[in-house]
Structure 1
Amino acid sequence: MADLVVRSRLTASPEAVGERPLRVRADAPVLVTVYPVLDHFSTCPRCGYPAEASATVRTYADGATESETLITCGMPCGWDEVR
């Protein structure tokens, strides 16, 4: 399974943004990485099917990081939880 990595653009040429420079919020992450949590073993409290989990790590320009874990039902019953 591949990881998803999203990088923010900190600068852009005026031509790429229509003569206006790109503005980035000071609190916007510069790197967002999503990892599958392979050692997560639980079941959905709604339907009992095995649950799946992924961890999202946000890295900011000052080096600070923030992470959260999203747990979802492996079937489409709609249950999810963020920790």
Structure 2
Amino acid sequence: MIISLLGVLHGLGVLAIGFITAFIFAVLAHLIVKAKTKVQVVALDITMFTAASFIVLRIDQELRYNGDLFDLHVLVFASVAFL
């Protein structure tokens, strides 16, 4: 019971991090890149949400297998370089 509740809380936390990261990436991308057509805007959103999902996947793996976020600074640098 407690283990399944912790699993649900872990999943909700990772999901919340994913939504926040995707939103921040989308806002930053729209501020940096001036998209002129709807196709460019949609492509930009898809790219940013893909990057955010990759970051959330790495965070989930770090928490699940290592129990800490020791290597998260590498992920942050890679994210900034991606933008």
Alignment TM-score, normalising by the size of structure 2: 0.27
| Structure of larger gyration radius | 1
* Structure of higher RCO (CA pairs closer than 8 Å, 6+ residues apart): 2
Structure with the larger helix share: 2
Provide TM-score, normalisation by structure 1. Answer: 0.27
